Chain A
Amino acid sequence: MHTIDIDMKELTKVEGSAGLSVRVRDDKVTEVHFEITEYKRFFTEALKGKSIGAVPAHLARICGTCSNAHIMAAIEACERALGIEPSEQTKLLRVLTMHGLIIRDHALHLYLFSLPDLYGKDAFLDFDENDPVQHELLHDGFDVKGAGNFLATLVAGRSVHATYPTIGGFLHFPDAAGIQTALQKLRAVRPAALRLIETFRNAPFHLESQMNYMALVPDGSYGYIGGKIMTSRGESYGEGAFRDHLERVVLPYSQASAYSYRGERYLVGALARMNLAKGKLHPATTAALGDTLNLFPSIDIFHNNLAQAVEILHSIDEAIDILERTPFAPEPLVKAPAREGVGVGVVEAPRGTLYHKVVVGADGLVCEGEVVVPTGQNQMNIECDVGRLVEAELAKDTPQEKIELEIEKLIRAYDPCMSCAAHFLKVDWKKE
């Protein structure tokens, strides 16, 4: 019988700072705490009294890696509060901004964080350049990341804390030369994306988990902005109704909150999106995937890695499509006078559904705001799956050091982002 305590103070190759503690008594996991140890920066409290025009840039600073998703969600929330309808060109530029983010962010996660686990390496930079496969992966990783970074920079000004997108439109527009370079880079890395899909399709790590999942599913093609929230139970509802369905769960040991859906844990992220919307992928992506698509819907959390690799290919294919067929031209911002209002913006950030809510007064100043991030929504699933993994490994008499490595692999598959998760003020726990 095993009675052990596992304390992992600093998880590595993840976004932000987190630790984990697991208590096992007589072979049973009695407690799992996934502790987000980032110190709160109180973004929603600091939002109060700011001009609505400052909201997107302010909320972007919640997270470096997801910043452009925060900007998109915040802009959407502010526009809805003000009654602004963006132009068709603006909508396309926002779609492209998200594709740039998805390519860059998933590539960072898959190549730099997750691939070393597959090759028994400590770091991506430890890959052997004299080994043909590892040599190719090294080049693939930085090239794919670079292509996403270039697309985001071309369309949004920067891949981190973008400067072009704003309330009512864009401040700058892609030029012909930049579009040609982006097309060249995207076409060049497409074979690398296909290799990445094959790599994660063949990955030996698996953990099945009975789960609910949820994602924003656009009305048109597979994507990350607009549409309806859909769930694995077959339900769907509008973006503005999110607080009717999600309940905050207090975690006294963590700087972040968790969320449940109708009292149950649920999953958000690439796996949820693929499970709910694989039929909407770009035709070129679908044609290239073949029977890989049959793996979805999946309840294997390690297929989140595969789903991210598929999304890289989809974002490449759709970005190429949009850039080839769209003549972008400067256009003025859509403006509206200040008014009292409430707006909700929802996007599919790389790690899952991201909600921003802004309440603005007639003077154009923010009264309050709320942000619900993907990692908070996945928290309960992470803890549950870590518990199941530990019990399964103990049953095989796996040494504790190896169990800790397996836990890190599992948590990396969820691709959590602690910078996002620890921004909150309103935690409703009882003061002790």
Chain B
Amino acid sequence: MEARPKIKIGWFTFSCCEDNTIVMTEVMNDHWQEWKETFDFRHARVLKSKNVMDEFDIAFIEGAIASPEHERKLTEIRARSKKLIAVGACAVLGLPAGQRNTFTPEQNASIQFLLDRFGALPKVAKVADIVPVDGEIPGCPMDPKVFLDKVNALVAEFRGATAQQ
């Protein structure tokens, strides 16, 4: 029987503490063998060096969008992905990475030179502010079970689509 093609995964991190990346690697403790067979990690900076930016069946986006470069990269990922899932509070809500959005005028004045120096956006954005999202996994960090349920549902969806072709 012909082997089924692996599902192409991208795991991308923007402005955040990477707690969801850690949770993902912990979920992997119990599921790495099936994931090895099921997924082709095309782009996952935390897992590998030779990352490929071509096309993704599922792109997981962690973190808030804090710079024009983040915006550009997220837009490119969206264009290359069949499904785009926002994971964790910073991606879904823009917080806490975007806590400067609610600073007082005095606080803003004290940080403005830093925002200018590194070309940060005036306001930090959540993922859905920039591109359409196909799903959200909230939490700070995300709940491992909710993440796994979502992953399994997506796998079933892609496998179903493959079977129908």
Contact = CB atoms under 8 A, between A and B. Distances in A.
Interface of A: 10, 12-13, 15-17, 38-43, 45-46, 48, 58, 61-65, 67, 104, 108, 112, 116, 122-126, 138, 142-143, 145-146, 149, 158-161, 252, 255, 408, 419, 425, 427, 431
Contacts of B13: 16-17
A282 B123 CA distance: 50
B107 to A, nearest CB: 6
B130 interface: no
- Say which size band chain B's interface belongs to: 35 or more
Contacts of A255: 118
B108 to A, nearest CB: 10
A64 B19 contact: yes
Contacts of A38: 15
A145 B96 CA distance: 27
Contact of A160 (B23, B107, B110): B23
Contacts of A39: 15, 66-67, 70, 97, 118, 120
Contacts of A61: 17, 19, 96, 140
Contacts of A67: 17, 19
B99 A42 contact: yes
B28 interface: yes
Contacts of A149: 26, 29
A13 B117 CA distance: 27
Contacts of A252: 117
A427 B116 CA distance: 14
A247 to B, nearest CB: 20
A161 B114 contact: no
A427 B113 CA distance: 10
B18 interface: yes
Contacts of B107: 45, 48
12 contacts: A16-B18, A41-B15, A41-B97, A45-B111, A46-B99, A112-B47, A123-B49, A145-B25, A145-B26, A159-B22, A419-B18, A425-B111
B10 to A, nearest CB: 14
B99 A12 contact: no
Contact of A431 (B19, B23, B103, B113): B113
Given A12-B48, A64-B141, A146 B99 contact: no
B82 interface: no
A12 B51 contact: yes
A304 to B, nearest CB: 19
Contacts of A143: 29
Residue picked from B36, B47, B67, B111, most chain A C-beta under 10 Å: B47
A49 to B, nearest CB: 9
Interface string B1-39: 000000000000101111111110110111010011000
B129 to A, nearest CB: 16
Across the A-B interface, give the 3 residue pairs with the lowest CB-CB distance, nearest first. A64-B19, A123-B48, A39-B66
Contacts of A63: 17-18
A38 B14 CA distance: 8
Given A65-B18, A145-B25, A42 B111 contact: yes
B72 interface: no
Contact of B46 (A13, A46, A408): A13
B159 interface: no
Interface in B95-112: 96-97, 99-100, 103, 107, 110-111
Contacts of A112: 25, 46-47
A46 B29 contact: no
Contacts of B113: 431
A13 B118 contact: no
A125 B41 CA distance: 10
Contact of B141 (A43, A58, A126, A161): A161
Contacts of B36: 125
A40 B110 CA distance: 13
A161 B17 CA distance: 10
Contacts of A62: 17
A66 B152 CA distance: 28
Given A39-B66, A41-B17, A45-B110, 7 more contacts: A64-B17, A67-B19, A123-B48, A125-B41, A149-B29, A419-B18, A431-B113
Residue picked from A58, A122, A159, A160, most chain B C-beta under 10 Å: A160
Contact of A123 (B47, B100, B110, B141): B47
Nearest to B116: A431
Contacts of B140: 61, 161
Nearest to B65: A39
Given A62-B17, A63-B18, A64-B20, A41 B96 contact: yes
B49 A13 contact: yes
Given A39-B120, A45-B103, A160-B22, A425 B114 contact: yes
Nearest to A70: B17
Residue picked from B13, B17, B32, B103, most chain A C-beta under 10 Å: B17
B50 interface: yes
A17 B13 CA distance: 9
Contacts of B32: 125, 138, 142
